[in-house]
């Protein structure tokens, strides 16, 4: 896979600590991934013809195979975040997004409201009553800490901005067109307050220092101030020509503000005069937060750019940091939170010196699982402690931890991962750096790489033919080889630096292919590589050979050869719209990641589209066992695939009139079909499939069900786990209740 967004990363390395080793069933011996050692195959094991099976585009039921592990919240821009203590908080964003946490941001629950309206700010005084304001005059209220929400009538349709709850009952909201709303009943109702003489201004934010002193910041650099709890307001002028976006108060006399112009202003006399800060900011100020009276931060429209003051806002110095651009807040003198676009949520525990992401939202370059439970993902663009990360899971992807055992100072941003077994593994990075583990990732050592003319490239892919002999390819036309289990690597090819080699494959120790923007073959173990000129105009992302004669190339299409690569044919019935990779579990079962996502169970004779959702395209994919795997993609997407088990899903249908067995869908089908049945009363349910001669194929379910609507899927396998042949089959529903036993039969058609 071409990884084309990494080279702009600055190499800021930090040291790392060690973590505990994962568990793995080391007795397992079958080959699961084409990048591992593959069993030798004979030349007779080949395709007799190219696939001509038309793909079944009816993918109803295939979503049952997929579980989205990350993100578990809406992938939107989050506009604001608020905490009542270091652990309990909420964040809101576009399209009604609302998330809550009770453990300091380690875990988030989605409590989004069903609206397309953008939510802008929120506030809570006591942690139970939470108020949210947003576009189109929307106000949401929760009285149970954010578990449930109701929409409150605001009386306006304009955009609402800052909300501030002064105590359990009194609160304020400001908005465009002179909108000022006040509640005195905990947000149950809101009344519009008109400030005479200034109702034509736009109100962008407000902050009360106490029950008496408060500020509203407006357009044209104007500020409204009250000294009597909002009964009367007076105009103050900063001299700024544009909108002011945020204000922070330290006392009745001191405050700091800024806005769209990038100029910062401060006052030490309650706003009688506003002084322009010494430093102008190069970006719009969206949010201001202070840790104490002197240390403060601003963030704005330039992503990851922040400005810091250590003198209470008189001077500001810029700094690149891990930031969202929308909102920043501090809960106490150490802990702070920050949000922004693309699901950015960060936390600091050291006054803002370092910010860590609370959600994995960066592009993921590789994934590798050594078992169903244990795996790693490479996130070279993640903003972790070293600005990049390897994440590890030991619970099937439910939770991911930043892997501190990886020596990031020696590796840099990780780009590719491969494990040969439960103990021996490799991670590649930029400048052709490789690290190796022999204890399952507990510790890592740096491999020696010699002979490459260009050392700027980063590793794209590993391949090992056995435990000692392997190759790696990079983005600068380089191929390196090891014969001592990856401790030392030596160059075999130094092509043009404009040549990116994406993948490499050997079907025996001598004969191999390397593909990318150029393609090469070798017949002597890589000592010499010959360029395949017929592919000069094509880019290939992966290569796999089932035998010496039968192989595939993955590029703008899927190509197949049956004569060792002398001739290739594009398989038009297997379109490839998003670049991906091969993942072979054994000789028969393999996958093509990307979009569409294909699976074969007959050695590549036919390919079935298993995911017909463009928004979920991903590459690469790792399958530790048959019928089960993990895919990763951009913006932190992590998905789990499992089509091994016949699944049952239950849905509620109140008081159905009759018990019914529905026709399966799709029908005819090739891969998986779904059977729906509705029960009028609760009872014991059995669904069994038979062939046309009445011989039992498989029992799908045999258990008690409540009344209502239910679904069961069949993956075309018999009770021994073998795929059955094409034909007509009968599925029979038997329902036993206290009063009767009823039977329903229907036919289905399986086509291969």
pLDDT in tens, 93-116: 999 999 999 999 999 999 999 898
If we measure between CA atoms, which residue out of 389, 375, 491 comes closest to residue 425? 375
- Look at residue 237 and give its three-state secondary structure: strand
Closest CA relative to residue 271, chosen from 197, 230, 217, 231: 217
Task: Give me the chain's average pLDDT, please.
Answer: 86
Which tens digit of pLDDT belongs to each residue from 417-436? Answer: 999 999 999 999 999 999 99
Local structure of residue 723 (DSSP, 8 states): B
In a 3-state reduction of DSSP, which class is residue 225? Answer: strand
User: d(Cα 426, Cα 482) in Å, to the nearest integer?
Assistant: 12
- Report whether 442 contacts 435 (CB < 8 A): no
Q: 470 versus 557: which is more confidently predicted?
A: 470
Distances (CA, A) of 574 to 304, 396, 413: 41, 30, 34
State the pLDDT at residue 740.
Answer: 78
| Contact present, 297 and 235 (Cβ < 8 Å) | no
Strand partners, 130: 124, 142
> Is 732 in contact with 688 (CB distance < 8 Å)?
yes
Q: How far apart are the first and last CA of the chain?
A: 31
pLDDT at 2 over 90: no
What's the CA gap between 733 and 541, in Å, rounded? 47
Q: What is the C-alpha separation between 338 and 324, in angstroms, rounded? A: 6
Two structure tokens written together for 469? 């002999």
Q: Are 485 and 467 in contact (CB under 8 A)?
A: yes
Q: Which pTM was predicted?
A: 0.74
Residue 2, CA atoms < 13 Å, CB-side half-sphere: 18
Place of tokens 């599925």: 731
Chain segment 518-537, per-residue pLDDT in tens: 999 999 999 999 998 877 77
Report all structural domains of the chain as residue ranges with CATH numbers, in order of start: 361-576 (2.130.10.10), 648-750 (2.60.40.4070)
Structure tokens at 111: 């409590």
Cβ 440 vs Cβ 425: under 8 Å: yes
Q: What does the block give as tokens for 154?
A: 């605001």
Q: What is the pLDDT of residue 642?
A: 87
> What's the confidence (pLDDT) of residue 708?
79
Segment 397-411 shows an average pLDDT of: 93
Confidence of residue 656 (pLDDT cuts 50, 70, 90): low
The pLDDT of residue 30 is 30
Q: Give 42-90 pLDDT, tens digit per residue.
A: 333 332 222 222 222 223 344 568 888 998 888 899 999 999 999 999 9
115 DSSP β-pair partners = none
Using the 8-state DSSP alphabet, how is residue 65 labeled? G
With contact defined as beta carbons under 8 Å apart, do 259 and 272 qualify?
Answer: no
- Which of 568, 573, 610, 569 minimizes the C-alpha distance to 589? 610
216 has pLDDT over 70: yes
- Using alpha carbons only, give the angle 474, 584, 626 rounded to the nearest 5 degrees: 140
pLDDT at 695 over 60: yes
Strands 434-437 and 425-428: antiparallel
The CA-based angle 420-421-423, given to 5 degrees, is 110
pLDDT, tens only, 346-366: 999 999 998 889 999 889 999
Q: Is 577 helix (H, G, I), strand (E, B) or coil?
A: coil
411's enclosing H/E stretch is: helix 408-411
DSSP for residue 95: G
Q: What is the pLDDT of residue 31?
A: 29
CB 580 within 8 A of CB 541: yes
* Other residues' Cβ atoms within 10 Å of the Cβ of residue 699: 12
Burial class (CB in 10 A: 0-12, 13-18, 19+), 605: middle
The tens digit of pLDDT for each residue in 186-209 reads: 999 999 999 999 999 999 999 999
- For the chain, what percent of residues have pLDDT higher than 90? 64
């Amino acid at each position: 896979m071409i990884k084309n967004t990494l080279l702009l990363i600055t190499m800021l390395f930090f040291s790392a600590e060690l973590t505990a080793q994962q568990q793995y069933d080391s007795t397992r011996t079958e080959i699961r991934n084409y990048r591992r050692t593959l069993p030798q195959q004979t030349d007779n094991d080949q395709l007799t013809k190219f696939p001509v099976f038309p793909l079944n585009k009816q993918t109803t039921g295939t979503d049952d195979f997929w579980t989205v592990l990350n993100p578990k919240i809406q992938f939107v821009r989050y506009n604001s975040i608020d905490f009542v203590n270091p652990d309990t908080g909420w964040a809101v964003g576009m399209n009604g997004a609302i998330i809550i946490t009770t453990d300091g941001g380690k875990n988030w629950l989605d409590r989004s409201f069903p609206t397309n309206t953008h939510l802008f700010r929120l506030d809570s005084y006591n942690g139970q009553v939470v108020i949210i304001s947003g576009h189109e005059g929307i106000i949401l209220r929760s009285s149970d800490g954010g578990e449930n929400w109701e929409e409150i009538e605001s009386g306006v349709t304009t955009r609402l901005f800052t909300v501030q709850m002064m105590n359990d009952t009194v609160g304020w909201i400001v908005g465009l067109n002179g909108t000022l709303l006040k509640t005195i009943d905990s947000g149950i109702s809101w009344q519009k307050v008109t400030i005479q003489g200034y109702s034509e201004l736009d109100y962008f934010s407000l902050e009360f220092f106490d029950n008496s002193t408060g500020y509203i910041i407006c357009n044209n650099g104007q500020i409204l101030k009250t000294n009597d709890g909002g009964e009367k307001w007076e105009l103050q002028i900063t001299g700024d020509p544009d909108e002011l976006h945020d204000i922070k108060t330290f006392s009745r006399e001191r405050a700091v503000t800024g806005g769209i112009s990038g100029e910062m202003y401060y006052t030490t006399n309650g706003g009688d005069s506003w002084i322009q800060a010494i430093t102008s900011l190069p970006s719009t100020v969206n949010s201001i937060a202070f840790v104490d009276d002197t240390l403060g931060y601003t963030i704005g429209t330039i992503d990851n750019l922040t400005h810091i003051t250590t003198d209470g806002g008189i001077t500001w110095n810029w700094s690149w940091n891990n930031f969202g651009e929308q909102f920043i807040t501090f809960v106490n003198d150490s802990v702070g939170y920050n949000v922004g676009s693309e699901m950015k949520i960060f936390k600091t525990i050291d006054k803002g010196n370092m910010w860590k992401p609370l959600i994995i939202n960066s592009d993921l370059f590789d994934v590798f699982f050594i078992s169903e439970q244990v795996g790693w993902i490479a996130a070279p663009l993640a903003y972790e402690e070293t600005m990049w990360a390897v994440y590890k899971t030991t619970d099937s992807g439910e939770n991911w931890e930043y892997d501190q055992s990886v020596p990031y100072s020696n590796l840099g941003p990780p780009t590719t991962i491969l494990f040969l077994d439960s103990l021996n593994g490799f991670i590649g990075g930029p400048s052709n750096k490789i690290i190796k583990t022999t204890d399952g990732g507990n510790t890592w050592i740096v491999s020696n790489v010699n002979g490459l003319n260009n050392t700027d490239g980063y590793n794209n892919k590993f391949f090992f033919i056995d435990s000692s002999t392997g190759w790696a390819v990079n983005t600068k036309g380089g191929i390196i080889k090891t014969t001592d289990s990856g401790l030392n690597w030596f160059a075999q090819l130094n092509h043009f630096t404009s040549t990116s080699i994406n993948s490499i494959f050997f079907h025996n120790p001598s004969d191999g292919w390397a593909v990318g923007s150029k393609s090469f073959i070798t017949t002597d173990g890589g000592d010499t590589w010959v360029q395949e000129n017929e592919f000069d105009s094509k880019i290939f992302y992966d290569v796999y050979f089932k035998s010496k004669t039968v192989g595939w190339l993955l590029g703008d299409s899927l190509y197949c050869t049956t004569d060792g690569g002398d001739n290739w044919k594009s398989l038009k019935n297997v379109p490839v719209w998003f670049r991906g990779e091969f993942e072979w579990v054994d000789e028969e079962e393999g996958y093509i990641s990307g979009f569409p996502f294909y699976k074969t169970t007959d050695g590549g004779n036919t390919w079935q589209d298993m995911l017909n959702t463009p928004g979920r395209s991903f590459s690469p994919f790792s399958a530790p066992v048959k019928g089960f795997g993990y895919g990763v993609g951009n913006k932190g997407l992590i998905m789990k695939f499992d089509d091994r088990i016949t699944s049952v899903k239950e849905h509620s249908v109140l008081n159905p009139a009759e018990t019914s067995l529905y026709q399966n869908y799709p029908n005819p089908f090739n891969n998986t079909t779904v059977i729906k049945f509705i029960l009028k009363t609760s009872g014991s349910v059995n669904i069994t499939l038979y062939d046309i001669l009445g011989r039992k194929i498989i029992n799908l379910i045999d258990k008690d069900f409540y009344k209502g609507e239910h679904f069961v899927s069949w993956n075309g396998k018999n009770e021994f786990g073998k795929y059955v042949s094409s034909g007509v089959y009968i599925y029979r529903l038997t329902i036993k209740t206290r009063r009767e036993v009823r039977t329903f039969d229907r036919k289905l058609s399986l086509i291969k």
